[in-house]
Amino acid sequence: MTNIDMEKIYNEYFKVVYKYLICLTYNQEIAEDLTQETFCKAIKNIRNFQENCKISVWLCQIAKNLWLNELKKNKKILVTNIESIELIGEENIEEDFLNREDLKGVYKRISLLDEPMKNIIYLKLIGNLTFKEIGEIMGRNEVWARVNFYRAKQKLKEVEENGKRL
């Protein structure tokens, strides 16, 4: 790839990578550190970027690998409560507070899902990624991501309507 503007890439994809790492880590500090590390690694390895891959997918794959390495190195990582996570980019504090009360319940229900479904929901809703991108990140295909997103939504509806635990 020629003429890569890493500053532009950083500005454009920082939030996507950060939100993806929040989904994986449930920890703001770790997500921030790993986001920075992701972009450092991307700069060092930009020559390995294949143009047929979306930059967001490539960056999220780097982020995921860094998180897995972090877990292997540090078995004592504590995951914080998902309710304590503040997503970046919230402009209206009052609206954020009102929405946060609703979001707490949603996040609690999402946290009850199995790991692949939970990640798919987060990647779609928080990361705003396409099913194709989600499939690529998860090492699967677009259809798999769509089907599992639908199944996860069904399970969330079940929990909401019946108060069932998954």
Per-residue pLDDT at 137: 84
pLDDT tens, residue by residue, 31-79: 899 999 999 999 898 887 777 778 888 898 899 889 888 877 776 554 4
Q: Which CATH number fits domain 1-88: 2.40.160, 1.10.3470, 3.30.2320, 1.10.1740?
A: 1.10.1740
DSSP string, 74-130: -TTPPPPPGGG---TT---HHHHHHHHHHHHHHHHHHHTS-HHHHHHHHHHHTS---
For residues 52 and 59, give the distance between their C-alpha atoms in angstroms, rounded to a whole number: 14
For residues 94 and 157, give the distance between their C-alpha atoms in angstroms, rounded to a whole number: 27
Q: Whose CA is closest to 31, among 46, 50, 16, 41?
A: 16
Sequence spans of domains, the chain: 1-88, 90-166
Please give the structure tokens belonging to residue 95: 């609206």
For residues 44 and 71, give the distance between their C-alpha atoms in angstroms, rounded to a whole number: 22
pLDDT tens, residue by residue, 136-162: 888 889 899 889 988 888 888 887 777
